[in-house]
Amino acid sequence: MREILKAHSQPMVSSSGIDYLMEHQVNALTKSFQDWYDVSVTNAKRRSRGKYWLTFLTLRYTGARLREVQLIDDASDIDRRNCEFKIKTLKQKSPKKPVRSIPIPSSVTVEITNYLMDFPDQKGKLFKVDQGNFRRVFYERAKDAGIPRNIAHPHILRHTRATELLKGGVPITVVQDILGHSALTTTAIYLRISGHEAKIILKDRGFI
């Protein structure tokens, strides 16, 4: 398994020069984070690592920036019944949508619910993690998953989410809203793919 991951560890690069992770890389990274959390033997470690695990899942499925995730108030910004996050849009002077609603898988809300049942004292500060520490943990988990060092950073999940949504047929305007882009042209960058990349996609989907 480790040899297979290393053999296919290189990221995809779109014709626009944007790196993103392939599906097997995302799966390997997710497994590394989950295993790291699951092996926590003490409550103190589980409390601490759980916050990193949930921050990772939120980055993975919202495509939000790390700072945006840190600003989420789990007491008021998460609709667990409808599986939606409210994300405050950053990096825009006057965003059209200061707060955007992003749907997430029910499995993520289940993880959050279970964690807060185990550690109710963390309610209201679920995503209060130190950026430097999170980046360090992310790098360690990425290394364990066989992901190259040059893309072992949280922002790669934003690129990955944008790319997989667009290639999965989600309308570009919807992806624009999810990412909080002010200009559609910014989102459109993720649609540019190389011939090599197109060949891999067609093979993966059984067209060639």
pLDDT at position 11: 53
**What tokens does 36 get?**
């790291």
pLDDT at position 94: 60
What CATH code is assigned to 13-204? 1.10.443.10
Q: Where are the domains of the chain?
A: 13-204
Whether 14 shows a pLDDT value over 60: the answer reads no
| Residue range 37-91, pLDDT digits in tens | 999 989 999 999 999 999 999 999 999 999 999 999 999 999 999 999 999 998 7
| Mean pLDDT, rounded, for 173-181 | 92
Task: Please name the residues in contact with 154: beta carbons below 8 A apart, sequence gap of 6 or more.
Answer: 59, 66, 134, 135, 138
Whether 184 shows a pLDDT value over 60: the answer reads yes
Whether 135 shows a pLDDT value over 80: the answer reads yes
pLDDT at position 5: 37
